[in-house]
Amino acid sequence: MPYLKIQTNLPLTKKAELAVLKTASSLIASELGKPEEFVMVAIQPNTPMLFAGSDDPVAFLELKIIGLPARKTKSLCKVLCDLIEDHLGIPKARVYVKFIDVKHGMWGWKGDMFEASSRPAKSPVMATGLGGEI
């Protein structure tokens, strides 16, 4: 259930938005070892933003996931900043990345909640026992 939200002050074409979304989805799945079918990515272009008092191109990324290992945040930060620089041309020095490790039972899906029990290979474990953490 990884969720990545990308905000930038740059205006983007629909084609550019879709390219970033697809690349980010695949990247998150690969980096976290999660099935892409559970990855959600959103982009909010043309958002009024300042960083260091400047409205030069900037991006803010927020990655939420249940059970995010702290040892993964450094490598995730690098690949996400690379993604933004490669696709949007925003220098890494103008990108913030926030990581949020969501507690079990605080993320719902399909009318139920993810729980802490182990999960089958490609299915999220839900409180009903149908699937758990993603």
User: For residue range 32-58, what is the model confidence (pLDDT) as tens digits?
Assistant: 998 999 999 999 999 999 999 999 999
What is the extent of the structural domain holding 92? 3-102
Assess whether 40 and 89 both reside in one domain. Answer: yes
Nearest to 118 by CA among 108, 106, 104, 107: 104
The catalytic residue positions are: 2
Assess whether 47 and 96 both reside in one domain. Answer: yes
Which tokens belong to 77?
Answer: 């930060």
pLDDT band of residue 133 (cuts 50, 70, 90) is very low
Q: Locate the DSSP E strands across 1-134.
A: 3-8, 40-44, 59-66, 95-102, 108-109, 112-113
pLDDT surpassing 50 at residue 126: no
pLDDT surpassing 90 at residue 130: no
Assess whether 89 and 44 both reside in one domain. Answer: yes
User: For residue range 88-97, what is the model confidence (pLDDT) as tens digits?
Assistant: 999 999 999 9
Assess whether 74 and 132 both reside in one domain. Answer: no
Cα 26 from chain centroid? 11
- How many separate domains does the chain show? 2
